[in-house]
Amino acid sequence: MTTRIGVIGCGGISATHLKALANETLADIPHKVTAFCDVEEEKALARRREFGDGGELVTTDYRQLLDSGSVDAVVIATPHPSHAEAAIAAFERGIHVLLEKPVAIAVSEARAINAAHARSKTVYTVHFQNRHDPRFQRVKRRIDDGLVGRLYKANITWNHWFRPQGYYDSGAWRGKWTSEGGGVMMNQCPHDLDLFTWWIGLPKTVDARIWLGRCHDIEVEDEIVAILSFAEGGIGIINSTTCECPGPWRWDIIGENGALMIDADEIAAFRRPEPLSQYTRTTKDFWSQQPLVPVEMTLPQKTPLTGSYGCWRNFLAAIRGDERIIMDGDEGALSLELANAIIASGYLGRPVGLPLDEGLYDQVLADLRAGKSGAAVTPQKRPRKA
């Protein structure tokens, strides 16, 4: 059986998917790209010239692609405000979906996508390719094996996302609540948020502060600080921005049994000889530091099946019934839920609980789209130079 694939959205990220599909590492799973769709027809034609043989369907209407009878599966690589509509339409027609991140703008949309998938007999995955990276899989196994244990604190900085004003000026949709649905949380940090929910899980409450256009002439948040509280007493602190250069990508995950420190590509791990709470209560030396035992964290090298290739292999194999999906819709929605919670808390000026009330967030987003800033910090704008 050859899986026939349609590409919905032929912008920049579509090339990543098409290169993965053309790679010889996937040659053992029969598949073929049979259709290209973009609202700008020339973009679809350009992708067909680059990656097709000339016989593929080209259309500006994704419904025509879905109804053509020429596809068994689609990759939806449009801007995320249109993800929900296209994914639900595909599921209603029994078509498998690989969906770009973030899955949608609002958690209500993500839940609607998952409900439509549950009603269908299809395969659904989200393009969070870090789930297929052996380095991050190693971290996940260490955490699941109890290296960290009960969480004390996750202190995390994602400040490697610097963007100049020209980035936001490059597209009319960028930096607006109506067309992008958010800033650093929605556009730059979905992969980081996915790693967080995968490794640590969702918190119980989020108490955040967000800055709207702190360093850029945009409507949306370009800096956030969030304090997360977990059910078992752990604390998370996340700060992220597109305003700093250079900026670190740093994780400190501290727990009862041990610790993980991740700084760019360097990962250090330590195990405690005894639980930290026990050492804290029983040590007689009030200047002491608990001795830690280093844990070997030599990381596997990236392979041809890392990232997007691994995501496509898993998706195509699952369609054939040979594998289970690694990154399903329920998992894919978690990072969006956390992003929404941070924005909602920052707008409302108070903590919000999780699972997130989707009606609450829909109202917050409506207010932001109407130009209200709530409790969010909006710096006084300086005149832009001509």
Q: CA quadruple 101, 140, 117, 306: dihedral positive or negative? A: positive
Find out whether 262 and 139 touch, Cβ atoms under 8 Å: yes
Whichever domain contains 198, its CATH number is 3.30.360.10
Pick from 28, 35, 45, 31: which is nearest to 7 by CA?
35
Residues paired with 57 in a beta bridge: 35
Q: What is the mean pLDDT of residues 305-310?
A: 83
d(CA 351, CA 344): 9
Q: Does residue 32 sit in the same domain as residue 46?
A: yes
Residues 96 and 199 in one domain: no
Average pLDDT, the chain: 94
What is residue 138's predicted lDDT score, i.e. its pLDDT?
92
**Short-list 157, 158, 334, 148, CA closest to 253:** 148
- pLDDT interval class at 303 (50, 70, 90): low
Residue 192 domain-assigned (yes or no) = yes
At 96-117, the pLDDT tens digits run 999 999 999 999 999 999 999 9
Report yes or no on 125 lying in a domain. yes
- The answer to whether residue 375 sits within a structural domain is no
pLDDT average, residue stretch 283-296: 90
Residue 85 pLDDT greater than 50, yes or no? yes
The answer to whether residues 122 and 141 belong to one domain is: no
Residues 310 and 323 grouped into a single domain: yes
Residue 321 lies in a domain: yes
* Residue 144: inside a domain: yes
pLDDT, position 171? 84
Q: Which runs of consecutive H residues, i.e. helices, occur in the chain?
A: 12-22, 41-51, 62-67, 83-92, 107-119, 134-144, 165-169, 190-199, 276-282, 308-319, 329-348, 358-369
pLDDT of res. 381: 58
Q: What average pLDDT score do residues 150-159 get? A: 98
Looking at the structure of the chain, the number of domains it has is 2
- pLDDT at residue 220 greater than cutoff 50: yes
- Both 319 and 246 in a single domain? no
Is there a single domain that holds both residue 140 and residue 87? no
Q: Is the domain of 239 the same as that of 263?
A: yes
Helix (H, G, I), strand (E, B) or coil at 12: helix
pLDDT digits (tens, 9 = 90+) for 22-51: 998 899 999 999 999 999 999 999 999 999
Shortest CA distance to 192 belongs to which of 158, 225, 224? 158
CATH of residue 31's domain is 3.40.50.720
379 within some domain: no
Total residues belonging to the chain: 386
Q: Domain limits at 285?
A: 132-300+334-369
In a domain, 378, yes or no: no
pLDDT of 115: 98
Other beta carbons less than 10 A from residue 347's beta carbon: 24
Does one domain contain both 160 and 29? no
**Do 320 and 245 sit in the same domain of this protein?**
no
Which of 85-89, 159-163, 362-366, 381-385 is the least confident region?
381-385
User: Is a pLDDT exceeding 80 seen at residue 92?
Assistant: yes
Based on the domain organization, do 147 and 261 belong to the same domain? yes
Q: Is the pLDDT of residue 289 over 80?
A: yes
Residues 36 and 171 in one domain: no
Do 165 and 18 sit in the same domain of this protein? no
- Above 60 in pLDDT, residue 382? no
- pLDDT tens sequence across 236-280: 999 999 999 999 999 999 999 999 999 987 899 999 999 999 999
User: What is the per-residue pLDDT for 383?
Assistant: 47
| pLDDT tens-digit series, residues 157-211 | 999 999 999 999 998 889 999 999 999 999 999 999 999 999 999 999 999 999 9
Q: Which residues contact 357 (CB under 8 A, 6 or more apart)?
A: none
Contact 43, 11 (CB under 8 A): yes
Handedness of CA 31, 100, 332, 308 (dihedral sign): positive
pTM higher than 0.85: yes
Question: Rounded CA gap, 8 and 14, in Å?
Answer: 8
- Is residue 385 included in any domain, yes or no? no
Predicted pLDDT of residue 68: 98
